[in-house]
Amino acid sequence: MTSQESPAAQDICGSTAGELARLIAGGSISSAQAVDAHIERIERVNPSLNAVVVKRYAQAREEARVADRRRAAGEPVGPLHGVPVTVKECLDLAGTPSTFGLPARAREAVQTDDPYVARLRAAGAIVLGKTNVAQLLLALESSNPVYGRSSNPWNLDRSPGGSSGGEGAIVAAGGSALGLGTDIGGSVRIPAAFCGIAALKPTQGRTPDRGRGSVPIGQRAVVSQVGVLARSVDDVALGIGVIAGSRESDLEPAIPLGDDRAVDVSRLRVAVYEDDGAYATGPAVRRAVREAAAILAAAGARVTAWTPPAAQTAIDLYFGLLTADRGRGLSALVRGQKADPTIAPLLMFGQRSRPVLAVLRALLAAVGQRGSSDKLRTFGHGDTAHYWNLVEQQLDYREQFLRALDRDDGGPFDVVLGPPCAVPAYTHGAARDLGLLGSYSLLANLLGFPAGVVPVTRVRAGEGTERPPSRDMVEATARRVEQDAAGLPLGVQILARPWREDVALAAMRAIEAGASRRDDYPRTPVDPVPPR
């Protein structure tokens, strides 16, 4: 923070959501003060970030006054009473549109809150606004024709990730104490990694996303989950407890959240990998994993080097399942509207037949674009029988993965530690060529396992790229992303067994405790860093 902000605002916006809740409940500060401070912060940083795209300041201030009156009257308060938060634009918030980046939806205000937004507000949280997304939630660049492009507070030349990139950026910059996002392939975890904050995607089925502006919800093999982003693991745990801590419907899982504070990290068995074998990681990414592994080992955990089974199979299954309708659902959503350049190739290739794609793949390979050619391998089936077969293969892969956790040397493993992404935060526009590199973030979604990201370190000077110059657009773009990346935050990913969010959070908290004592820990909030 800088001296241009009031000292009170600096102190308030530097506090965690849990700290703010305690201060407000104890009367040390008011909810009105907390809301005003965060609005001040948003107005300071948002012109550079374009993170908060729907603002509801007047409503938030009135809700804060009501919250303060309730506290003064001695009424019961929730765990987030009076705490200012933000939510991803695709999540319904009464009185605002949920466009998913589609211009045709910009004037359609919804009438009711998304169930998880409603739970957040029932816990006392005050929503300041909604944050930017990738169009149709399909890219690691949060850009769309309705709201434009968001930037990363650590370097405005870089993306905050996607599709919950606006949420990651404003939480990292101190404009929001906590946020909700959605995740079908890394959409809360990648922004957390790129922006130097923490996040968790729950087990598939615990917090299923009900949105209807992305991958058709009839596709039930890989289901988007609502997750939480925050500047501390404690706040992520607090938020997950709020949105997933009660069973209000027979459609929700009967398995309760475990107590992450009761998990003994010294008894955990940790499988560690730096590279999935499908797409190589950069030197800084590998170092971050090694440092996190050392922290867990120092805490008493048993740490063993490991390799995930058949990473390329996981990648092919994931993309095969999500494109099984040959892009018909996505095409219907965007028909007659402008498609963002980041997702335009996906929409184009997703509609092509297998014979046409075979020709395109051969042409791309012939001109040295092997990376782009390989991405098209699973596209173009479009028949129900093939989809059923993919679902069966997904079940087989999940069993293979669990067997590896149980039987490989060093197991049975409680958690898997690895990279969330093969490279640091993408430069603007890189998502068009890179997409999801390797199996790193998508693996948890294919398996349906809970997974979280926690910051560990920053890219060091001289810790650039090992990739040779290449004509291949994917390789050349990855090389550019790794160059001039010094100072960017790096996180690691913790994947746990189904329904063991408590174990994932405990491991994340131990890593945070060890890493936060180091000088290169990506502390937030930060002022936006101008382009280099």
3-state DSSP call for residue 301? coil
What is the reported pTM?
Answer: 0.96
Q: CA angle, 444 as apex, 166 and 207 as ends, to 5°?
A: 65
Strands across the sheet containing 489-496: 52-55, 126-131, 84-88, 178-183, 225-230, 198-201, 451-458, 489-496, 415-418, 269-272, 302-305
Q: What is the pLDDT of residue 244?
A: 93
Q: What is the pLDDT of residue 282?
A: 97
Interatomic CA distance for residues 375 and 152, integer angstroms: 27
Q: Using omega within 30 degrees of 0 as the cis cutoff, is the peptide bond preceding 412 cis?
A: yes
Q: How far is CA 418 from CA 191, 288, 309, 406, 444, in A?
A: 16, 9, 14, 18, 12
Q: Which residues pair with 226 in a beta bridge?
A: 182
Q: What is the pLDDT of residue 382?
A: 85
Q: What is the pLDDT of residue 77?
A: 96
3-state DSSP call for residue 302? strand
Q: What is the pLDDT of residue 3?
A: 39
- Of the residues 159, 163, 164, 214, only one is catalytic, namely 163
**55 has catalytic annotation:** no
State the 10-residue block means of pLDDT for the chain, 532 residues long: 61 95 97 97 96 98 98 97 98 98 96 96 98 97 98 97 98 97 98 98 95 93 97 98 78 84 98 97 98 98 98 94 91 93 83 78 80 76 92 98 98 98 98 95 98 98 94 96 97 98 98 96 77 66
**187 has catalytic annotation:** yes
**88 has catalytic annotation:** yes
Contacts with 112 (C-beta within 8 Å, 6 or more apart), sequence order: 92, 94, 118
Domains and CATH numbers, the chain: 7-315+386-515 (3.90.1300.10)
3-state DSSP call for residue 483? coil
Interatomic CA distance for residues 149 and 329, integer angstroms: 24
Q: What is the pLDDT of residue 246?
A: 67
Q: CA angle, 511 as apex, 509 and 515 as ends, to 5°?
A: 120
Q: Report which of 331, 305, 299 is spatially closest to residue 409, judged by C-alpha positions.
A: 305
Q: What is the pLDDT of residue 532?
A: 64
Question: Are 184 and 204 a contacting pair, CB within 8 Å?
Answer: no
- Of the residues 142, 143, 150, 187, only one is catalytic, namely 187
